[in-house]
Structure 1
C-alpha cells in the first residue's frame, strides 16, 4: 500500500488523539499503520543512499556496515560484534559523572541498579571475578567483550584484575569512556592489564580539550583508540571547530553512532523529525545524515583514520549475526523497538514537513479511508484502559505539535 503523505498525516493525527494503548486498533488496522512506517522509511533510505553516492571511497564489510579509510584501522571490537559471537557486555559501574542529553539512561541516570561489590554483571547474571576461570572452562569463549554502563573511570582500579583475566584467556576487549577522568597513570595501567581498545564518547564532553589530549595519551599505550559518540548537531558543530586537533591525536577510528531513542532520552528531543528503522530503533533524521557528511569529508580530505557508519542498519546486521551465532533459525532476529507501544505522535513532525516527500503515493482504498473507519475505531477505544500509564508515558503530545 503506497499511502499518500496527506492520508498518513490524517491517520496518525487521529490516532495520536485517542486515549488508551490502542492495541486493538493496531490489530484491526495494521496494514495501513505499517504502510505509513514503510513509506517514511523508504523515503529516508533513499535520502541516505543519495548521500552515500556522494562519498568517493565508501566501502562495506560484506554489506553489514559502511566505512571510509584504511581497513586496517577498522575497530576490531566492531569486527567481533558483526562477525564474531556478538557484543558481549560486562557491566560494573552504575553511575556517571556527566549528564548527556542523548544518553540512553538520561531520565533514570540516578536510579540504575547497583552491581554489588566484588561482582560483575555478565550475560545478565552476577559473577565474582574468581568465577571467570570456571565460566571460561565451561562455556564457549567469546570473540570479544565490551565494558559498558556507565562511566568505568569512576572506579577504574576495580577493572584491572578482570581485564587481565580475560586478556590472559585471549579475549579481545574494548571499553567505553567519556574520558574526563582519564589520566596518563590510569590509562597506562589499563593498557598494561591487557585492554585492547579504548573508545572515547567525545560528544559527552562537547569535544573538550582535556579529552582530546587524553585520546592522544591513550594512543601511546593502546593498540586501538577511537571515538564513539552519537551523531548530533551539537557534536558536529564543535567537532568541526576542533577537527585538526582531534585528527592530530593519531586515533584509529571514529564510530559515528546513529542516535536512537528509548524511554529515558526521548523527552529531550520533543518535536524532532523521526523515522523508525525496520520497526526497530526510532532515530532523528539528522543523525545519520551527519555521519554521512563526516564520511564524505573524511574521504575527500583523506583523513588518516576510519570513519565508520554505525547506523541502524549496522545494528540490524549485528542482531542477525548474533542470532545466527546463537543457533537461531534462518531469518530470526532480535532487532526490536525500545518502546512497548506505538507512539504515533512522534511521527507527526516528519509528516507535517512540506519538504519531506513519499517516493510513491497512491489513492487509498475505501476500506482504509479514515472517514470510513473513524466510527469503528472510536468504538474500540477504552478511555480508562492504561490511561494513567498513557498520560505519564514520555512527553506531552500537544508539546510535539507546537
Structure 2
C-alpha cells in the first residue's frame, strides 16, 4: 500500500472513532460520491486559471488583501474573546465564555504586549475575531489602536463580526482607529444586510464571510446583487467542518462527510463552486473566493511556522516551504519545528524577553534523525529540489515530502 493511502486510511479510522457517537453519519466513499465527483470536475474546469495557493483557493474577480496576506503566512488572528451572542448551527466551538485575548496559544493581557509581538515577528496583517469582538468593543478598539500606534503603518487590519451589535458610531470609531476591513457573518442574522449598509462609506473594505451552507445556495445567488449595492466588495465562502461541538446539529442534516484531517462537508464544497461559477457567468462585480479546508489546514499552519521561524532561526539554518528546519548532512536527515510558548517548558529552551512579555522557544523533533542509504540520499535530494506532482509511494520519501512541501490541490472525494 502506498504511504499516502495509508495516511488517508489513518484519517478514516481517526474520524470514525472520534464521531462514533453518531453512527448514522454519511461518510464519503466510492459508491456514494461518483456523481458528486463528476459535478465537481465540471465546476472546476469552468473556473479555468482562477486558482491561488497551489490550487486550493478558486476565486472570481479578486480576493481581499487580508486573504492574500493570510495565504502568504503573514497574518495574525487575535481572538478578542471566546464569547459570542449568536447561535449558528455550523459554529465549530462553544464560544460561551469571555477569555483573555489570545492567538496561537499565547495570551495577551495588554494591547501593548500584542502590538510588540506583531512588531517583533513582522506580521503584515492583523485580524480581530472571537467569539464576537463587538461584545467587548472598547477592548477591540484598544488593541486596534495599539497595533496602529506601535506597528508598521502599512499593516492591514480587519475584524470579524456577526453584526448584531454593530452601529454607525462603532464603525466610525473603528475607521478612525485605522480598521481597513470588516467581515460580516450574515448567516448569524438571517442573511440580512442592514448592518452592512451602515458600514458602507465608513469602513474602506466590506466583506461577507460565511460557510457555504448547501440549503442556502439559491438564496445566496439571489442575494449577490443586493450585496454589491450594500457595499460588499468580497464574499468569502468557507467549507463546513464537523466538530464535536456542532456534530449534534450537523448530524441532523443529510450531509456527506469527507475524511480529511478534520471531517468536512462534501455538499458545502459543491455549493461554493456553484456560487463561484454563477458569479462568473453573470459577470458580477464582486470578488468571491472559496476558502477550502485544504487551504486553511495547509497554508495557515505552515504560514505561522514560517513567520516565527524566519525571525528566530539562525542565518545558516534551512527553512522548508512547510516552515520546518531541515538538517541534511552526510547520510542523515531530520526536521525540527520551532515552537513558541509563554510557559517555560521542561528541557532545553531559549528565553525571548521583550519589554512587555517573555516567551520561551523550544525545538521539537518533527522527523527524527534518519540514516539514509546512498540510493535513499539521492532520492531525497531529488525530492527536495524538485517537488513531485504526487505524494511519494515510499514511507521515507512520503515523510520527507510532508516536511518539505505543501500539498497541492483538492483531494478526491
- TM-score, length basis structure 1: 0.64
Q: 1:77 aligns with which of 43, 66, 79?
A: 66
Secondary structure class of the residue paired with 2:46: coil
**Could you list the runs of 5+ residues in structure 2 that have no partner in the other structure?**
3-11, 22-26, 310-318, 325-336, 338-413
CA distance in 1, matches of 2:276, 2:49: 8
Higher helix proportion? 1
CA distance in 1, matches of 2:121, 2:323: 21
CA distance in 2, matches of 1:323, 1:303: 37
Q: Which residue in the other structure is 1:175 paired with?
A: 159
**Structure 1 residue 62: Cα displacement:** 4.6
Matches within 5 A, 1:213-224: 213-224=194-205
CA distance in 2, matches of 1:219, 1:310: 24
Secondary structure class of the residue paired with 1:291: helix
Q: 2:187 aligns with which of 196, 203, 211?
A: 203
Structure 1 pair 159/325, CA: closer, same or farther in 2 (3 Å)?
closer
Matches within 5 A, 1:26-175: 47-55=39-47, 59-71=50-62, 74-86=63-75, 88-105=76-93, 108-110=94-96, 112=97, 114-116=98-100, 120-127=101-108, 128-132=110-114, 134-136=116-118, 139-168=120-149, 169-170=151-152, 171-175=155-159
* More contact order relative to length (CA 8 Å, sep ≥ 6): 1
Structure 1 pair 51/81, CA: closer, same or farther in 2 (3 Å)?
same
Q: State the Cα RMSD in Å.
A: 3.4
Q: Which residue in the other structure is 2:363 paired with?
A: none
Secondary structure class of the residue paired with 2:201: helix
CA distance in 1, matches of 2:80, 2:126: 13
Secondary structure class of the residue paired with 1:255: strand
Matches within 5 A, 1:230-269: 230-269=211-250
Q: Which residue in the other structure is 1:346 paired with?
A: none
Checking the alignment, whether the CA contact within 8 Å between 2:95 and 2:131 is kept in structure 1 is no
Q: Which residue in the other structure is 1:276 paired with?
A: 258
In the alignment, is residue 185 of structure 1 matched against residue 185 of structure 2? Answer: no
Which moved further from structure 2: 139-148 or 303-312? 139-148
**Structure 1 residue 237: Cα displacement:** 4.1
Checking the alignment, whether the CA contact within 8 Å between 2:115 and 2:147 is kept in structure 1 is no
- TM-score, length basis structure 2: 0.62
Structure 1 pair 155/100, CA: closer, same or farther in 2 (3 Å)?
same
Checking the alignment, whether the CA contact within 8 Å between 1:64 and 1:313 is kept in structure 2 is no
Secondary structure class of the residue paired with 2:277: helix
In the alignment, is residue 286 of structure 1 matched against residue 274 of structure 2? Answer: no
